[in-house]
């Protein structure tokens, strides 16, 4: 199938038709993200309501903050679940095949002529599918799924509304970052009228610190905060030793790069965390309109959004006299 880029409503209807015809759809997205998790679960509810057999796969178990989402138990882990026979792949909120956890399958699917529909809002999206609907200005992928449901007149249940609102709230930093716009607020209000559980979302998703142990860990990490004067970037580093000493699991810290956004006079914040698999996960955040952290992440081989981006490096972290070194 040739590469195709979606531009109008008729194409949304075409994706809908592909879904209705499919015998087994695989829905994939990236890990540790409210927008990704909310989008796949709302899409799963839609497929279920039409009796379409499907599997929902994410590259890692759902983090604590999003385990309240209705239908979360349906989510399976890639890559094991990707081996099954499929005739349609839907990738949501993922900028490339690796982020979606499908890098080992994508060539096989393409050779077999299986359509791979990519619905995404990352402006670093590399067009890894065969049919693409990319809205670089959309605040969240969940907003696009909302538009999709509206276009095909799909009724939005309270469960779907909670999933979609979670994506909008997480990607806009609960309406605080630059992705926040009229559409995000208008759709959020619409989702509340569909029965979205706002207080449940807020209570589960926006507690930056999981427990006392995590708070102590942050005390330790913030006491060593470095500031890169030339670039105006504050850098916090979390080592495996820190996690071990404080008794915190790495999965419990995934969304807290936002903690750096509380500092007013820095240009951007970066959190570097050593993972048990020998890689270092870098997360970048800014609240400033004149900074593009996706550009910085791209320098390290990563990507993302202007306000929130990430990358991954091989190695371990070593504290030196004037900063941190990747060994």
DSSP classification of residue 76: E
* Binds Mn ion (CB under 5 A): choice among 93, 96, 252, 274: 93
262-281: contacts with Mn ion (CB under 5 A)? none
Asked whether position 141 contacts Mn ion by CB under 5 A, the answer is yes
* Whole-number Å distance between alpha carbons of 170 and 91: 19
Asked whether position 171 contacts Mn ion by CB under 5 A, the answer is yes
* Whole-number Å distance between alpha carbons of 7 and 41: 24
Find the part of the chain contacting Mn ion (CB under 5 A) among 31-39, 55-63, 151-159, 213-221: 31-39
Sign of the alpha-carbon torsion through 54, 96, 309, 7: negative
CB of 127 or CB of 323, closer to Mn ion: 127
Considering the complex, what minimum distance in angstroms separates the CB of residue 86 from Mn ion?
A: 24
Asked whether position 96 contacts Mn ion by CB under 5 A, the answer is no
CB of 30 or CB of 281, closer to Mn ion: 30
Rounded (10°) angle between helices 158-171 and 182-193: 150
CB of 16 or CB of 305, closer to Mn ion: 305
CB of 35 or CB of 242, closer to Mn ion: 35
Q: What is the DSSP string of 81-147?
A: GGGS--SEEEEES-SSTTTTT-TTTHHHHHHTT--EEEEE--TT----SSEEEE-TT-S-HHHHHHH
Considering the complex, what minimum distance in angstroms separates the CB of residue 144 from Mn ion?
A: 9
First to last CA, the chain: 44
Considering the complex, what minimum distance in angstroms separates the CB of residue 33 from Mn ion?
A: 6
Find the part of the chain contacting Mn ion (CB under 5 A) among 29-37, 55-63, 97-105, 287-295: 29-37
Find the part of the chain contacting Mn ion (CB under 5 A) among 88-96, 158-166, 219-227, 316-324: 88-96
Q: Which two tokens stand for residue 116?
A: 């791979």
Considering the complex, what minimum distance in angstroms separates the CB of residue 195 from Mn ion?
A: 23
Q: Are 75 and 37 in contact (CB under 8 A)?
A: yes
Considering the complex, what minimum distance in angstroms separates the CB of residue 297 from Mn ion?
A: 15
Count CB-CB contacts under 10 A for residue 222: 12
Find the part of the chain contacting Mn ion (CB under 5 A) among 1-9, 93-101, 187-195, 280-288: 93-101
Nearest to 137 by CA among 169, 178, 94: 178
Considering the complex, what minimum distance in angstroms separates the CB of residue 31 from Mn ion?
A: 12
For Mn ion, the binding residues (CB under 5 A) are 35, 93, 141, 171
């Amino acid at each position: 199938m040739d590469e195709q880029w979606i531009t109008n409503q008729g194409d949304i209807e075409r994706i809908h038709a592909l879904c209705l015809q499919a015998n087994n759809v695989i829905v994939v997205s990236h890990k540790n993200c409210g927008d990704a998790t909310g989008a796949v679960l709302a899409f799963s509810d839609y497929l279920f309501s039409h009796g379409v057999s499907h599997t929902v796969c994410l590259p890692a178990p759902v983090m604590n903050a999003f385990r309240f989402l209705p239908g979360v138990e349906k989510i399976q882990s890639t890559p094991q679940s990707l081996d099954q026979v499929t005739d349609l792949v839907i990738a949501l909120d993922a900028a490339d095949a690796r982020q979606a956890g499908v890098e080992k399958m994508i060539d096989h699917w393409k050779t077999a002529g299986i359509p791979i529909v990519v619905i995404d809002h990352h402006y670093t999206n590399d067009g890894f599918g065969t049919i693409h609907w990319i809205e670089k200005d959309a605040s969240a992928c969940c907003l696009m799924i909302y538009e999709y449901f509206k276009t095909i007149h799909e009724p939005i249940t309270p469960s779907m509304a909670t999933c979609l609102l979670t994506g909008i709230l997480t990607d806009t930093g609960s309406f605080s970052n630059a992705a926040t716009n009229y559409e995000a607020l208008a759709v959020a209000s619409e989702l509340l009228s569909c029965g979205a559980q706002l207080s449940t979302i807020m209570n589960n998703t926006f507690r930056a610190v999981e427990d006392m142990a995590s708070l102590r860990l942050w005390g330790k990490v913030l006491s060593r905060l470095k500031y890169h004067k030339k670039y105006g970037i504050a850098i916090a580093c979390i080592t495996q030793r820190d996690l071990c000493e404080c008794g915190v699991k790495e999965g419990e810290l995934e969304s807290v790069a936002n903690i750096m956004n509380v500092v007013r006079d820095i240009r951007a914040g970066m959190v570097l965390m050593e993972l048990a698999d020998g890689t270092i996960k870098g997360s970048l955040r800014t609240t400033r309109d004149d900074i593009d952290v996706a550009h910085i992440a791209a320098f390290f081989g990563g990507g993302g959004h202007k306000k929130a981006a990430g990358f991954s490096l091989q190695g371990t972290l070593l504290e030196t006299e004037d900063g941190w070194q990747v060994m």
